Structure 1
Amino acid sequence: MTIPEQAQLLRIYIGEDDRANGKPLYEAIVLKAREMEIAGATVLRGAMGYGHSSRLHTAKILRLSEDLPLVIEIVDSEAKIAAFLPELDRMMTSGLITLEKVQVLQYGTNGR
């Protein structure tokens, strides 16, 4: 699998407790991206954040997990990301999605 040097970064901001068909939304998104042969996806867990509701979500010692913020980053060609967006729309009921152009310097290894 290759990614063009000029690619697109899809960034999805959701909550850890968000669900899609009974399973964690982040898991559903990553598995759908893999099924569609998107080059790569990573889920990052935030220590603190807030969204449109302005409700603070934090990982303090006394509160181990209060719907912590998650960011899912997906990188591939503009065409593959565009094909993925309708699938994402079917899964998500809230959250923030951003797109930006990125320059891919390296993906995987050559010859190994």
Structure 2
Amino acid sequence: MKRFLGKRKLVRIFISSEEKYDGQPLWEYLLKKAKEMEISGATVIKGVAGFGAHSEIMAFNVWSLSQKLPLIVEIVDTEEKITKFLRLANDWIEEAFVTMGDVEVIAYKHPKHGNP
């Protein structure tokens, strides 16, 4: 769909897999809200290891029953939609590292909508 091509914003929200909002995993809540707001795209990426503001290393451990892992929620859309989403997300996120940068969408293909 050509309307999604061009200059866009990419937001990365770095959180822990243990973060929650309204009784559910924060990553899931963010994803659902992004979909409700008709954001062009969002992906949750699970990290193998990382650390944040507390300098606590979170890492995968095969012997541990519960895993506290770093997650990245990536969201792509126009600056206007991203700004609106982040204003709302500020109330949902208790602890995170958030970055935003410019990206250029060069392809956005879906068989139901036809491909350029």
| RMSD, aligned CA | 1.5
Which residue of structure 2 aligns with residue 80 of structure 1?
A: 81
8 Å CA contact 2:15–2:96 kept in 1: the answer is yes
- SS in structure 1 of the partner of residue 102 of structure 2: strand
Letter of the structure 1 residue corresponding to residue 33 of structure 2: K
Which residue of structure 1 aligns with residue 107 of structure 2?
A: 106
Letter of the structure 1 residue corresponding to residue 56 of structure 2: R
What are the within-5 Å matches in structure 2 for residues 12-23 of structure 1?
Answer: 12-23=13-24
TM-score, scaled to structure 1: 0.93
Deviations 1:58-112 (A, max 9, x none): 1022235431000000000111101111111010011101000001111124626
User: What percent identity do the matched residue pairs reach?
Assistant: 38
Which residue of structure 1 aligns with residue 25 of structure 2?
A: 24
Deviations 1:13-49 (A, max 9, x none): 0000100011000000000000000001000000101
- SS in structure 2 of the partner of residue 62 of structure 1: coil
Unpaired runs of at least 5, structure 2: none
8 Å CA contact 1:4–1:77 kept in 2: the answer is no
TM-score, scaled to structure 2: 0.90
Is residue 57 of structure 1 aligned with residue 58 of structure 2?
Answer: yes
8 Å CA contact 1:58–1:65 kept in 2: the answer is no
- SS in structure 2 of the partner of residue 37 of structure 1: coil
Deviates more, 1:61-70 or 1:44-53: 61-70
Aligned residues: 112
Q: CA deviation at 1:4?
A: 4.2
8 Å CA contact 1:46–1:70 kept in 2: the answer is yes
- SS in structure 2 of the partner of residue 98 of structure 1: strand
> How many Å separate the matches in 1 of 2:68 and 2:78?
31
